[in-house]
Amino acid sequence: MQIDIIIPHYTGTHFLSDAFKSIIPAISPEDDVKYNIILIVDNCEGKDLKDIPGYTHPTDEENRNDIKKLVAETDFGSHVNVKTVYPSGRQTVASLRNLGLKHASGDYVYFMDSDDYLYPQALSLLAAKARETDADIVHGAMCKSRYKYSTTVSAEPANVSSELVDVLCFYNFTALHMLIKNKPDLVGSFDEKNELYPDLFFTAELIARTDNIVMATDSIYVKRLRNDSIRYPALSQLARSDRKEILLGIYRRLSRNYKKHPVISKALKMITKTNRAKRLSNIKKRIKAFIKKPIFLYRMIEKYIFRRMSMKDNWIVFESFLGKNYSDSCKYIYKYLACTRGPAYRYIWVVNDKNTRIPGRVTKVRYLSLKWFYYTSRARYYVNNMRQPKWMHKREGSTLLETWHGTPLKKLVFDMDDVHSATPSYKMDVYSQSRKWDYLISDNPFSTETFERCFLYPKSKILETGYPRNDILYAEEKDLVAGSIKRELGIAADKKVILYAPTWRDDEYYGPGSYQFALKLDLERLRKELSDEYVILLRTHYFIADAIDTQGMEGFAYNVSRYNDIAELYLISDICITDYSSVFFDFANLKRPILFYVYDFDKYKDELRGFYIDMHTEIPGPLLYTEDELIHAIHNIDSISEEFAVRYDRFYEKFCCKSDGHSSARIANSVFHM
Ligand code: C2G
């Protein structure tokens, strides 16, 4: 038996590489089947590709070279042949597949998309079923995934559909994952005029031509949901305003033509029902949200009233961590402006706790309150350290200064392969949000280069000034300030301070912005071992919803998660313990010891995020995997400092090189001209 696997491909060799990797174990070496992969490669040049800062689309030549290399390097085994075809001129998925059909000479044809992948044995199981039944069509089961192919792919999929009518309904009459007997009166061809939905008619016509269809429910195909619709949009993600209309037209025609067909008409009815249910549930959700959350009403008020009022050129809104505190670079830019420009500006601070102490004359507003809408709508300047809400309107002529909240260690946005966090639309969201930033602050040349790539953000708008939030670490009065903070927190002057500030885990969440955290430290044991010399400050990341329990640990462990400004905590800390948080880039400005407590290192590095720098050779302290190692390191902190001295200096040179205590001044002079 010979099976021709037709794969149309356009751009994104990493997708194709995953598909290839999955095909190898999808074929059992014992199969007495010849597989013939027909890869049809479309041209990239001449397509209406978006201009994206920080990213250049590959030329046709580059694309082809990448593919040739991949094909040459992939060892499919002796019973698999690969043929690559490069048609000229503009193609569509339909025309690429039709071309594939022309090259097919085997007993069965099989369509696969280059961005999808297969479960182990998937092809062999289809082939075995075809041999056993001699069916015209052998259809496998399918599921969807947000993640790339991995060798652990045999884990239970979330939503495998195994009935033909289910597959047709949920995968919109897909032409994928079925062996089709290669007879001209059965296979037919794809409608090349139908750019967006080439599968619908092809599959309906195919199914209408034969009753001899069997399911192979143990053979599984994974439809991969792309998370980067900016650089690699799927057909279904291309911005087309006529999409709905086209689809409705096709459904109508199909319903007319196949009114009496038992499977097709049932699948079409299910699609209509599902779409109606989805629309209804969306409307219900909106109504509920409108009633429950005033924010929708506020958005209307902003749109129809505030936006029509004049813009105030001297108003500045500052917002740090969604109004959770008065902190970060926003705080230090504010302090500098208040001191040097005084009443030339009106200062508005977004703080959720109205008792937050902020020196100077400020107007306080809660995050997403009606006042927030009023001031952010009318102010000329908005200084933020996180992403603004994605629906937020930016007025013509206003300035959004994005200070960002750390030098990146963990891979960000477009440098991430899979997105494991609570928001799967992360890449698309960040892209549209960052288009509204007029400036982005960077702490060092490394961040500048990374931000340009990971945000696809123009370098010309990045201000590489160093972080204003670290100015305090270079202030002349820093020891005085430290003394008063220690007193304020009730820490004895003779006690040394350890700050434990871990980050959040992408896969442990309650919902967007609300993450779980379990303290992996035995506080009782730490107290026994360390309390003669040290106290410990425990600080969770601002995304963490779980509270740390320090009951019974008074005088030793302090929960400082709600303390406004972590920079002030750095000032009083003798040792900083973190994991993958960017806090160590800032703390390093003090040249004090840093320990990395990384009990879940492999998972974090390989599965969740990946890092920009080599944690084994570049970071200014040891990687400690267990509590024993951590305690041992604290007892031997002087020898650790000695051991890491050279690496620390190198690290400081690279990442703290722009910090000198005057970053706020540089920002103020570049952005605020009154
Ligand atoms: N932070 C904090 N307490 C923690 C962790 C973080 O106050 N326990 C603050 C620090 O100012 C830190 C910032 O939040 O620099 C960002 O936190 P990260 O742990 O680095 O994580 P994330 O918010 O994902 O930002 O480019 C930086 C990245 O975006 C990381």
pLDDT in tens, 395-410: 999 999 999 999 999 9
Q: Candidates 320, 447, 541: which one to mutate for ligand 1, based on the most atoms within 8 Å of Cβ?
A: 541
Does the beta carbon of 503 sit less than 6 angstroms from any atom of ligand 1? Answer: yes
Does the beta carbon of 182 sit less than 6 angstroms from any atom of ligand 1? Answer: no
Kindly state the percentage of the chain with pLDDT values over 70.
Answer: 98
Q: How far apart are CA 666 and CA 439, in angstroms?
A: 13
Alpha-carbon separation of residue 581 from 521, 557, 586 (angstroms): 17, 20, 10
Decide: pTM greater than 0.75.
Answer: yes
The rounded Å distance from CA 581 to ligand 1 centre is 5
pLDDT at 159: 65
Kindly state the percentage of the chain with pLDDT values over 90.
Answer: 81
Q: Residue with the nearest Cα to atom 18 of ligand 1?
A: 581
Atom of ligand 1 nearest to the CA of 501: 8
Query: What mean pLDDT is predicted for residues 376-392?
Result: 97
The rounded Å distance from CA 252 to ligand 1 centre is 52
Does the beta carbon of 329 sit less than 6 angstroms from any atom of ligand 1? Answer: no
Q: Candidates 443, 520, 521, 581: which one to mutate for ligand 1, based on the most atoms within 8 Å of Cβ?
A: 581
pLDDT at 522: 95
pLDDT at 469: 98
The rounded Å distance from CA 486 to ligand 1 centre is 23
Residue 201 and residue 193 in contact, taking contact as beta carbons nearer than 8 Å: no
Does the beta carbon of 109 sit less than 6 angstroms from any atom of ligand 1? Answer: no
Which has the closest alpha carbon to 383: 671, 586, 673? 671
> Residues 6 or more apart from 540 whose CB is under 8 A from it?
502, 517, 546, 548, 561
Alpha-carbon separation of residue 92 from 65, 327, 453, 545 (angstroms): 21, 52, 30, 48
Query: Which amino acid, 672?
Result: F
pLDDT at 569: 98
pLDDT tens string 178-209: 999 999 899 999 999 988 999 999 999 999 99
Sheet of 557-559, strands arranged across:
557-559, 534-538, 496-500, 575-578, 594-597, 623-624
pLDDT at 624: 98
pLDDT at 509: 83
Only one residue has tokens 């706020």, namely 664
Lowest mean pLDDT among 4-8, 23-27, 48-52, 627-631: 48-52
Q: How far apart are CA 147 and CA 455, in angstroms?
A: 21
* The pairing of beta strand 117-118 with beta strand 34-41: unpaired
pLDDT band with cut points at 50, 70 and 90 for residue 560: very high
pLDDT at 154: 52
Structure-block tokens of residue 375: 């001031």
**Angle between helical axes of 523-530 and 627-635 (0-180°, round to 10):** 20
pLDDT tens string 270-298: 999 998 999 999 999 988 888 888 899 99
Q: Residue with the nearest Cα to atom 3 of ligand 1?
A: 541
pLDDT at 239: 82
How many Cα atoms are found within 13 Å in the side-chain-facing hemisphere of 172? 13
Residue 103 and residue 85 in contact, taking contact as beta carbons nearer than 8 Å: yes
DSSP string computed for 457-522: --GGGEEES--GGGGGGG-TTHHHHHHHHHHHHT--TTSEEEEE-----TT-EEETTEE-----S-
> Residues 6 or more apart from 165 whose CB is under 8 A from it?
263, 266, 267, 270
Mean residue pLDDT of the chain comes to: 94
Does the beta carbon of 501 sit less than 6 angstroms from any atom of ligand 1? Answer: yes
pLDDT at 57: 86
Largest CA distance in the chain: 89
Atom of ligand 1 nearest to the CA of 585: 15
Q: How far apart are CA 49 and CA 47, in angstroms?
A: 6
Q: Candidates 405, 444, 561: which one to mutate for ligand 1, based on the most atoms within 8 Å of Cβ?
A: 405
Q: For residues 244-276, b (16+ Cβ closer than 10 Å) or e, as one string? A: eeebeebbeebeeebeeeebbbebbeebeeeee
pLDDT band with cut points at 50, 70 and 90 for residue 45: confident
Residue 383 and residue 401 in contact, taking contact as beta carbons nearer than 8 Å: yes
pLDDT tens string 67-89: 999 999 999 998 899 999 999 88
**What are the beta bridge partners of residue 141?**
220
Residue 342 and residue 358 in contact, taking contact as beta carbons nearer than 8 Å: no
Which has the closest alpha carbon to 627: 518, 500, 522? 522
Does the beta carbon of 11 sit less than 6 angstroms from any atom of ligand 1? Answer: no
Helix (H, G, I), strand (E, B) or coil at 455: coil
Check whether 412 has a pLDDT greater than 60.
yes
pLDDT at 96: 96
Query: What mean pLDDT is predicted for residues 658-673?
Result: 97
Q: How far apart are CA 633 and CA 576, in angstroms?
A: 12
pLDDT at 152: 66
How many Cα atoms are found within 13 Å in the side-chain-facing hemisphere of 242? 7
Q: Residue with the nearest Cα to atom 4 of ligand 1?
A: 541
Residue 324 and residue 542 in contact, taking contact as beta carbons nearer than 8 Å: yes
Structure-block tokens of residue 279: 């629309």
Does the beta carbon of 581 sit less than 6 angstroms from any atom of ligand 1? Answer: yes
Query: What mean pLDDT is predicted for residues 20-27?
Result: 96
Check whether 671 has a pLDDT greater than 60.
yes
Check whether 32 has a pLDDT greater than 60.
yes
Structure-block tokens of residue 307: 């936006």
Structure-block tokens of residue 408: 């990146």
Does the beta carbon of 539 sit less than 6 angstroms from any atom of ligand 1? Answer: yes
pLDDT at 80: 95
Alpha-carbon separation of residue 44 from 8, 39, 62, 92 (angstroms): 13, 15, 10, 12
pLDDT tens string 494-542: 999 999 999 998 888 888 778 888 999 999 999 999 999 999 999 999 9
Q: How far apart are CA 508 and CA 611, in angstroms?
A: 19
Q: How far apart are CA 247 and CA 308, in angstroms?
A: 38
pLDDT tens string 150-186: 876 655 565 677 889 999 998 999 999 999 999 989 9
> Residues 6 or more apart from 76 whose CB is under 8 A from it?
20, 23, 24, 27, 35, 37, 82
Query: What mean pLDDT is predicted for residues 630-657?
Result: 98
The rounded Å distance from CA 609 to ligand 1 centre is 14
pLDDT at 529: 96
pLDDT at 153: 61
Q: How far apart are CA 346 and CA 449, in angstroms?
A: 34
Q: Residue with the nearest Cα to atom 26 of ligand 1?
A: 408
Does the beta carbon of 666 sit less than 6 angstroms from any atom of ligand 1? Answer: no
Query: Which amino acid, 649?
Result: D
Helix (H, G, I), strand (E, B) or coil at 217: strand
pLDDT at 339: 97
Check whether 256 has a pLDDT greater than 70.
yes
Residue 93 and residue 8 in contact, taking contact as beta carbons nearer than 8 Å: yes
Q: How far apart are CA 466 and CA 656, in angstroms?
A: 8
Check whether 620 has a pLDDT greater than 70.
yes
Check whether 361 has a pLDDT greater than 90.
yes
